[in-house]
Amino acid sequence: MDVSTDGAPRLSLARVMLCGAVILTMSMGIRHGFGLWLQPMTMDRGWTRDTFAFAMAAQNLAWGIAGPLAGAVADRFGAYRVMMVGALAYAGGLFGMALATSGTGLALTAGLMIGVAQAGTTYAVVYGIIGRNLPAERRSWAMGVAGAAGSFGQFLMVPVENALIGTLGWQGALQVLAVLALLIMPLALFLRESPQALKPPGGATQSIGGAVREAFGNRSYRFLTAGYFVCGFQVVFIGVHLPSYLKDHGMSATVATTALALVGLFNVVGTYAAGSLGQRFPKRYILSAIYGLRSVVIIGFLLLPLSPGSVYVFSALMGLLWLSTVPPTNAVIAQIFGVQYMSMLSGFAFLSHQLGSFLGAWLGGALYEASGNYDVVWMLAIALGFFAAAINLPVRETPIVRPHLRPA
């Protein structure tokens, strides 16, 4: 363990990056391929697709709602404890999913348990450790690396899970994944921070309620949070509905699969690049560019004649812009508010992201049913992208001044 300039013991860069990246690879990756279980589970259990879809929607909402709570506990009592509980919930949720025989059981395990587990093992909690243990001049880069690891997990686990289901059956595959999720526990132990590291530099403490009031009273935080909502909306709408859109326009299933693979591949590059760029340039410009470019890319995709080539170019470009918002958004939060309540504040921003995700998935289907096509939702995605690009520009990245706080 190293010692920072304020005297508090800090974890080393190698330890934080290696353990954080592997944890994110697993936690982001495992649940990403859940769509592969839709057909075998519903056929085996005699469920409708609604039953499965409801559990997945509940998972996303539980992830968002549990995020601020998990973040607050991590900030106050140590992230490793939250990750240990999260890993147990992840494994329990996966075992439970394998054994669930009713829709309620599925919603409680695959939905609620895994959603809560996600909140305890993904970005907000890991980024809190990065924020507290790495110097500000490496933070955005480190968040980019960790974010890229999460993106890589999403990219990696789909074919791995496909192979597991093919060789072990859907229940056996879930049990293997449950054991894999338990591996987060020993890794979390390596990220155990000293109690001094959880205290802010200088000893000026702030209450949780004070931190929440301060953040939501801050215009820049509200803008970042609103932008994150748009991120969730666009990403989930495209991820969920693009294959159907392509099918509606006569594209083969192979084109849709390749498109999603390209999104996954370029997402790894884009997430890393955004983090690295955030170390050199103002992050508000990076975020604004990402949201604005998403809209430009969507416009180009819709205006150009649809072909496999145009789909692949669109997918690669969208992949570059996919989760690339995550490192700069979190790095700005750390920059403005410091790292004492970083996981909790990231959790609140992520709750907004998840509400956007929910709406993107749901509105995509609802408006399609109402109008017979995706035109309205594409327009909404474009307009929201420009809106997010505009509101990120006035974000002030300077640290907040707290004259009322005195050292404890």
Task: Give the binding site for another protein (CB under 8 A).
Answer: 1-5, 10, 12-13, 133-135, 138, 152, 155-156, 158-160, 162-163, 166, 257-258, 260-262, 264-265, 268
Quick one: CA dihedral 20, 26, 337, 386, positive or negative?
positive
d(CA 79, CA 66): 14
Closer residue to another protein, CB minimum distance, 70 or 260: 260
DSSP letter at 35?
Answer: G
Closer residue to another protein, CB minimum distance, 33 or 86: 33
Closer residue to another protein, CB minimum distance, 85 or 143: 143
Quick one: CA dihedral 370, 374, 379, 381, positive or negative?
positive
Closer residue to another protein, CB minimum distance, 227 or 243: 243
Q: Nearest approach, Cβ of 59 to another protein (angstroms)?
A: 23
Q: Nearest approach, Cβ of 390 to another protein (angstroms)?
A: 34
What distances in angstroms separate CA 312 from CA 208, 285, 308, 377, 382, one per listed residue? Answer: 46, 27, 6, 21, 19
Q: State whether residue 323 is helix, strand or coil.
A: coil
Output the CA angle 390-298-315, nearest 5 degrees. Answer: 120
Tokens at residue 81, please?
Answer: 């404890």
Closer residue to another protein, CB minimum distance, 70 or 263: 263
Tokens at residue 331, please?
Answer: 């790095």
Q: Nearest approach, Cβ of 259 to another protein (angstroms)?
A: 10
Q: Nearest approach, Cβ of 163 to another protein (angstroms)?
A: 6
Tokens at residue 100, please?
Answer: 């669930």
Q: Nearest approach, Cβ of 152 to another protein (angstroms)?
A: 8
Helices 375-392, 342-371: inter-axial angle, 10-degree rounding: 150
Closer residue to another protein, CB minimum distance, 100 or 158: 158
Closer residue to another protein, CB minimum distance, 33 or 328: 33
Q: Nearest approach, Cβ of 4 to another protein (angstroms)?
A: 4
Closer residue to another protein, CB minimum distance, 129 or 395: 129
Go through 280-299 and write b for each residue having 16 or more CB atoms within 10 A of its CB, e for each that does not: eeebbbbbbbbbbbbbbbbe
Q: Count CB-CB contacts under 10 A for residue 188.
A: 27
Closer residue to another protein, CB minimum distance, 29 or 86: 29
Q: Nearest approach, Cβ of 69 to another protein (angstroms)?
A: 29
Q: Nearest approach, Cβ of 186 to another protein (angstroms)?
A: 23
Closer residue to another protein, CB minimum distance, 61 or 262: 262
d(CA 241, CA 366): 11
Reading phi first (left if > 0) and then psi (alpha if -120 to 50, else beta), residue 372 is in left
d(CA 253, CA 261): 12
DSSP letter at 220?
Answer: H
Q: For residues 246 and 259, is the Cβ–Cβ distance under 8 A?
A: yes
Q: Nearest approach, Cβ of 293 to another protein (angstroms)?
A: 22
The structure tokens 């304020």 sit at: 6
Q: Nearest approach, Cβ of 261 to another protein (angstroms)?
A: 4
